[in-house]
Amino acid sequence: MEKLIIFSAPSGSGKTTVVKHLLEVMDQQLAFSVSATTRSPRPGELNGREYHFLQLDDFREKIKDGAFLEHEEVYAGILYGTLWSEVKKIWADGKAVVFDVDVKGGLNLKRQFGDQALAVFLRPPSVDVLMERLTKRSTEVEHQLQERIAKANYELSFESQYDTVVVNDKLDVTFATCEKLVSDFIAKD
């Protein structure tokens, strides 16, 4: 079966950290779906690796062409979307696709794919811890940081709609829990 594994959580919960780890330890079974976005690359991010960085016009053109499985305006004026081309390439390689998408995009994919998809909600131990992690990461300017924190409570209200919730407190425990969840899901018919 062609499978999808969705990780959603408020920004700063640890999705990128967890997904990167899973891809390292399960690289024969999993591959990452590189999304498209209209935001600018952060230092160290490469076009085609973390994201396909697009101008707004190009993104809109792709929406018209039906290139996306789903797309969302995750932050004001900033679009993100999952590309069919990525998913098809990974399935053709015989691997399951891993996504790091916002809560709406995650639930949208789950609705489309049902039992073919495992939807994991990664939750920080508290909003205070989330703020601390985001602030320490230092990747957002102040107003973006505020926007991400303000959105966190709204996003946290979606957790019950996910297949499973993992609290990301101690990272080694989170890694072990997610590895088990994902390998059990992949092993299922």
Complex with ligand 5GP: residue 21 or 39, whichever CB lies closer: 39
Q: Which long-range contacts (CB under 8 A, 24 or more apart) does 179-185 make?
A: 179/22, 179/25, 179/26, 181/118, 181/120, 182/5, 182/22, 182/26, 182/30, 182/96, 182/118, 183/26, 183/29, 185/3, 185/5, 185/96, 185/118
For residues 74 to 93, the per-residue mask of contacts with ligand 5GP, x marking binding by CB under 6 A and - elsewhere, is x-----xxx-----------
For residues 13 to 52, the per-residue mask of contacts with ligand ADP, x marking binding by CB under 6 A and - elsewhere, is xxxxx-----------------------------------
- Are 55 and 39 in contact by the 8 Å Cβ rule? The answer is no
- For residues 108 and 56, give the distance between their C-alpha atoms in angstroms, rounded to a whole number: 22
Sign of CA dihedral 170, 164, 183, 80: negative
For residues 62 to 101, the per-residue mask of contacts with ligand ADP, x marking binding by CB under 6 A and - elsewhere, is ----------------------------------------
Complex with ligand ADP: residue 62 or 140, whichever CB lies closer: 140
Complex with ligand 5GP: residue 74 or 96, whichever CB lies closer: 74
Query: Which residues are at the interface with ligand 5GP (CB under 6 A)?
Result: 11, 15, 35, 39, 70, 72, 74, 80-82, 100-102, 105
